[in-house]
Every structure is written in C-alpha cells, then in structure tokens.
Amino acid sequence: EAGVAQSPRYKIIEKRQSVAFWCNPISGHATLYWYQQILGQGPKLLIQFQNNGVVDDSQLPKDRFSAERLKGVDSTLKIQPAKLEDSAVYLCASSFLFGTTSTDTQYFGPGTRLTVL
Amino acid sequence: AQSVTQLDSQVPVFEEAPVELRCNYSSSVSVYLFWYVQYPNQGLQLLLKYLSGSTLVKGINGFEAEFNKSQTSFHLRKPSVHISDTAEYFCAVTRSSGAGSYQLTFGKGTKLSVIP
C-alpha cells in the first residue's frame, strides 16, 4: 500500500514569508498528526486530527501556525509569518484507528525540511 | 506526565559488533513503548513496540528490546550490526492527551554510526 505522502520535500524561505506543507495520509487512516522535528531533537506533536476534527492542538503556536484537514483526508499546515526558529523538518503521520487506543501504530511520511533565512 | 530519556546522543560501533541503545522513561501509569528508526532524509519507521506480555520484544532487521519495569528502561539491542543500520533511533512512550486519545512523546534520539 502507498505510504504517507508529503510535499514539498524541501523549502527555503525568508523570515516573515508564508509557507504551506501538504500531507496525504494512508488511505483509510482516520487519524492524522503533524510533528515538528528541530535538528538534534525528537519529533514534537503540533496537532492531531480525527477525521476532519481537531483532537489536540495544545502545542501549535496558533499566532502563526494553522492546519486544516478538509474532508478528513488530505491536510495542510501553514506558517504565516515564518520565524528563524521555525527551521525544522515537518513530519506528517497517520494511523488507522480512531486514536482512542494507545497501541495504534503511526506511519510517518518523509517530511518537509524547512529552512528560514 | 510521561517523558523519555535517551542516554547517548551518538554511538559509534564497528560492523558485526553488538550494540545497545539506552532508553529510560518516567511515567506514573502503565505505558506502551516504541522504538522508531530514521534513515537519512526519510521519515520514521517503527522498529518494535511493547504493549504487554513478554518483556522481550523482537522487531524488524534483527533488533530486539527488553522492557524492565523496575528500572523503567526499554533498551534496544542488536547482536551484530551492519553498515545499513547507520541511522538515528528514537525511543517513544504513549501519553494520554486527556481528550480520549493517545499520543507519542519522543526522546531526543541516538545516532548510530556503524564503522566498516
């Protein structure tokens, strides 16, 4: 089966510019996650969707970050305006079950490497 | 709250030698533990997971991990490494979001370098 798809793979922007990332989860997966992975650190959850609803966005910097998952399939993560500290890899993951089980396996996409100059 | 500590940021090891990557967790409740591997320029891939039952868990690519509740550890081992095992390894623990769903908390990762 096809894995989690993300685009673009790389993006370089100037600070204060806007940027958007796209994710297509594995077909049939109800739960979608966006993570931020700063160099030298593990992934940090930004937002979790259950179908097209937000389950948890407590670690999303809402003054500049936004995300949506229209129709419960694809998702877009946007940063506006970008800051230097937003330089990171943005990972998308999906899981089959509704997210109410702690044993659910998450499948990760290849990520988008963002560099903010 | 759950947290994960990976004690070594980098581990160099010669090809065909054994390796152990250390992971300790803190949690006041029962946990589920995972090891993920990240190859260069790729996303994370699940190596293995501990949910319940036998404390020795076998995963892909010859890796295994042992859950030790008394020492709150979940160390990853491989008896003989290959060049292709060069990657970054992440230990993770589940946590409840408080909204009826579960999320992963990751450690900072350990970079394994296999030397020919």
At residue A43, what is the residue type?
P
Looking at residue B5, what is its pLDDT? 94
Looking at residue B100, what is its pLDDT? 61
Length of chain B: 116
CATH node for A5-101: 2.60.40.10
Q: Are B13 and B115 in contact (CB under 8 A)?
A: yes
User: pLDDT band at B98, cuts 50/70/90?
Assistant: low
Looking at residue A52, what is its pLDDT? 84
Q: Is B35 on the interface with A (CB under 8 A)?
A: no
Q: Which chain B residue's Cα is nearest to A41?
A: B108
Cβ-Cβ contacts under 8 Å, B89 against chain A: none
Angle at A110 between CA A109 and CA A112, to 5 degrees: 105
User: pLDDT band at B86, cuts 50/70/90?
Assistant: very high
How far, CA to CA in Å, does B38 sit from each of A19, A44, A81, A83, B96?
Answer: 25, 15, 29, 26, 24
Cβ-Cβ contacts under 8 Å, A55 against chain B: 97, 99, 101
Q: How far away is chain A from the Cα of B16, in angstroms, using its nearest Cα? A: 27
A103 to B51: CB separation less than 8 angstroms, yes or no: yes
pLDDT tens track of chain A, all 117 residues?
679 999 999 999 999 999 999 999 999 898 899 999 999 889 999 999 988 889 889 899 999 999 999 888 999 999 999 999 999 999 999 988 755 555 678 899 999 999 999
Looking at residue B68, what is its pLDDT? 92
Q: How far away is chain B from the Cα of A75, in angstroms, using its nearest Cα? A: 17
DSSP secondary structure letter of residue A41: S
User: Average pLDDT of B51-77?
Assistant: 92
Buried b (16+ CB within 10 A) or exposed e, A79-115: beebeeebbbbbbbbbbbeebeebebebbbbbbbbbe
Please state, for a pLDDT cut of 70, what percent of chain B lies above it.
90
pLDDT at B29 over 80: no
B97 to A101: CB separation less than 8 angstroms, yes or no: no
Looking at residue B106, what is its pLDDT? 93
Would you state the structure tokens that stand for residue A74, as one six-digit string? 């694809």
All structural domains of chain B? 3-115 (2.60.40.10)
Looking at residue A55, what is its pLDDT? 86
Looking at residue B94, what is its pLDDT? 82
Looking at residue B110, what is its pLDDT? 97
Q: Are A35 and A43 in contact (CB under 8 A)?
A: yes
Of B46, B99, B103, the CB nearest to A45: B103
How high is the mean pLDDT of chain B? 90
Looking at residue A102, what is its pLDDT? 56
pLDDT at B1 over 70: no
